[in-house]
Every structure is written in C-alpha cells, then in structure tokens.
Amino acid sequence: MINYLYREQNWKSQLNDLITDPHELLRILSLSPDELLSGALLASEQFKLRVPRSFVDKISKSNPLDPLLLQVLPHHLELDEHDGFITDPLGEEAATQLPGVLHKYQSRFLLTLTGACAIHCRYCFRRHFPYQENLPKHKDWLDIKAYIESQPQINEVILSGGDPLTLSNQKLHTWLERIASLPQIQFLRIHSRVPIVIPERLDQELLQTLTMSRLNIILVIHANHAHEIDEKTQYYLKQLHQHNVTLLNQSVLLKGVNDSAKLLQELSYKLFESGVMPYYLHVLDKVKGAHHFDLSQDRATSIYNELLALLPGYLVPKLVREIAGEKNKTPIVTQFNPIE
C-alpha cells in the first residue's frame, strides 16, 4: 500500500489552488478552445468554474465527452430557459427557519454552515441559493439551540452547504461539540463531495474529531461515476470505514454521465470496495441551468430496472426525487422491488 499520509499534500493548499479559468482547464486536458470555450466563458459568468486539480487528474485528455468533465465544465446550454426549471426547485428558501437552518423533515434538520464548495457541479440544485443571507454566525448558535430544543422530535442534524468539509477542523470541532451538547441529538450526518475531489481532506485530525464524538456519525459522500474513485480516494475512505464511521453515497442520474445500468453497477461495486454503501440515486432536481442533464422518468425507471437485475439488493441505491414541500424524499416506483 502506498503511504499516502507520508506524501500527503495539505488539503488546504489544494482548496486554495482550484482551477477557475476555462482556458486553463481546456489547456490541461488538451481540448480545443474553439469548440468549447465561448460557451464555457458565458456560463461561468453565471456559475463560476471551480474544480480541484486532483479531480482534473482523473479526467481523460482530449475527450470532450468524458463523464467527469461534463460534470464540471460550464456549457452554453446552461443559459437556455426551460419551463419548470427554476432557481429554487426544492422550495428551500421557504423552509429556512433561521440563518443556516433548513427544516423540512420531522426528525432531522439541515444546517448550512458555509456556501463554499471545493467543486462546482453544473447540475447543483443550490447553484442559485442566497448563501450570504442564510449563513449562521457565531452569535446565532443560541437561537439554533433554542429552536432544536423547541422541537423535541428532532434527533438528527445534517451538515450541508456549500460543503461543510471545506471548513477548518477547528470550526467543525466547535460545531460538533455544540450539537453533541444537546441530549436529544443522536445522529450527525455530513454531506460532502470533498472526499471524492480532495480525498486528503480526510486527515487524521478530522478522523479523530469524528470518531471521538458521542454522536453516531454518518458521512454521505457524492460520487456519480466509478472513475471518480481512484486508489488514493479508496485509501482515505477505508480509513474512515475502519474507524466505524458509517459511509454512504448519493448520486444523481445524469444524461451523458452515468445514464446506463452498467455504469451504475460499476459505481456500486467500486463504492463497496471502498467501504461505502450506495444510498440514494436522485433523478435530477429541476434547477435552472441543468436541463441538458435531465432524463425522462420513463428512461430513469428503465435504467433502474436494468440495475436491479444486475446487482444484489444491498448494492442498489434507492431511486428518489425530492419534491418541494414534501416531508420526505419520494421513492420512484418501478416494476421490481430491489429487496432480495
């Protein structure tokens, strides 16, 4: 096994050295700017290109249709208007109770600690979310604490964003201690794309913070394609798995990226090898700018039915969509049952 800890590049330096210029990304990948640059520049003005170099290393060169590239390269189709594709498809602004607090589900609520991400996924359902108006400040903790205590049914806090793992270990430790101080909270879930795009973020200090907490910690990562999980990524994920942190994965079903049962099968196997269980397969949230990734529900269920035939039930993620105002994610019914 390669000693990645020994040769580890500081994750903060990687986070501060992201590719944000479409010219540079196309040059690194040996792609012709004539075909892609004008659309990328225009779309990047509305939702900036942001991608770690370690993720770009996983993208094949000279291939404009690489499934990892399609997730991050701005495209002129993002500028098109389509009926039903809106800036707040999940109704999250209406569900915001306090700065940083989204309470949509009965027993759990979501805490957005930052608007920053290590990577800008072009299909992001929060690409238009007004983070600066909704981030909690240090002084807001007492109001958040009072809100939780007024809702005795809440037993789980979900850290989201942005991406909570872009925060320093010190800030995360502070928030974990605050949340753990509330006896009613039993579960802490962290949703993050960072372990896939900058796996070094799962450093020893973070590992200690997570494993020393009294809370049941669940880390939900976000990978859409097996090529996102290389040997180094697997190494860091296994470190958490070996320390009894529950690891789950959620994916989004994306046209041109992972819209085949075979690709999803490969992803489930790669996740399992890494100590991660498939959790959700989301159909696309209808956010403005992402229409070109959309698949019809008939196509989505067809792919999913094929996947059910290829995998054992424990490796099949739940096919779901999120509907604004609903109290849970909505399962998409198929002709088969994924339980064996």
Q: What are phi and psi of 338, to 5 degrees?
A: -75, 10
**In-domain check, residue 86:** no
In this predicted structure, the answer to whether residue 4 has a pLDDT above a threshold of 90 is: no
Task: State CA 277 to chain mean position distance.
Answer: 15
Q: What are phi and psi of 102, to 5 degrees?
A: -110, 115
In this predicted structure, the answer to whether residue 50 has a pLDDT above a threshold of 60 is: yes
pLDDT band at 134 (very low <50, low <70, confident <90, very high): confident
In this predicted structure, the answer to whether residue 340 has a pLDDT above a threshold of 50 is: no
- The reply to whether 123 and 43 lie within a common domain is no
What is the pLDDT averaged over residues 55-61?
97
Q: What are the tokens at 279?
A: 């959790």
Side-chain-side CA neighbours of 224 within 13 Å: the count stands at: 27
**In-domain check, residue 68:** yes
Name the residue range of residue 65's domain. 11-79
Distance CA 223, CA 46 (A): 24
User: Based on the structure, what is the number of domains in the chain?
Assistant: 2
pLDDT of residue 104: 85
Of 33, 49, 79, the domain-final residue? 79
The pLDDT tens digits for 278-307 are: 999 999 999 999 999 999 999 999 999 999
pLDDT of residue 99: 86
In this predicted structure, the answer to whether residue 323 has a pLDDT above a threshold of 50 is: yes
- The reply to whether 98 and 74 lie within a common domain is no
**How much of the chain exceeds pLDDT 90, in percent?**
79
pLDDT of residue 35: 66
Of 24, 54, 79, the domain-final residue? 79
Cβ-based neighbours of 222, under 8 Å, separated by 6 or more: 191, 192, 193, 196, 249, 250, 251
pLDDT band at 315 (very low <50, low <70, confident <90, very high): very high
- The reply to whether 52 and 196 lie within a common domain is no
- The reply to whether 199 and 321 lie within a common domain is yes
pLDDT of residue 338: 47
The pLDDT tens digits for 100-124 are: 888 888 899 899 999 999 999 999 9
- The reply to whether 73 and 111 lie within a common domain is no
Choose between 61 and 7: higher pLDDT. 61
Average pLDDT, the chain: 92
Q: Which of 251, 253, 189 is nearest to 223 (CA)?
A: 251
**In-domain check, residue 336:** no
Distance CA 227, CA 281 (A): 17
Distance CA 320, CA 330 (A): 5
What is the pLDDT averaged over residues 53-78?
96
pLDDT of residue 325: 78
What is the pLDDT averaged over residues 25-53?
90
Distance CA 281, CA 317 (A): 6
Q: Which of 336, 300, 296 is nearest to 319 (CA)?
A: 300
**How much of the chain exceeds pLDDT 70, in percent?**
95
pLDDT of residue 339: 46
Pairing type for strands 108-112 and 101-105 reads antiparallel
pLDDT of residue 9: 60
**In-domain check, residue 212:** yes
- The reply to whether 58 and 182 lie within a common domain is no
Helix (H) or strand (E) holding 112: strand 108-112
What is the pLDDT averaged over residues 186-215?
96
Mapped onto helix, strand or coil, the DSSP state of residue 26 is: helix
pLDDT of residue 240: 94
Do residues 256 and 284 lie in contact, with contact meaning Cβ atoms separated by under 8 Å? Answer: no
Distance CA 154, CA 103 (A): 10
| CB count in 10 Å sphere of residue 135 | 17
Q: What are phi and psi of 13, to 5 degrees?
A: -65, -35
Distance CA 321, CA 304 (A): 13
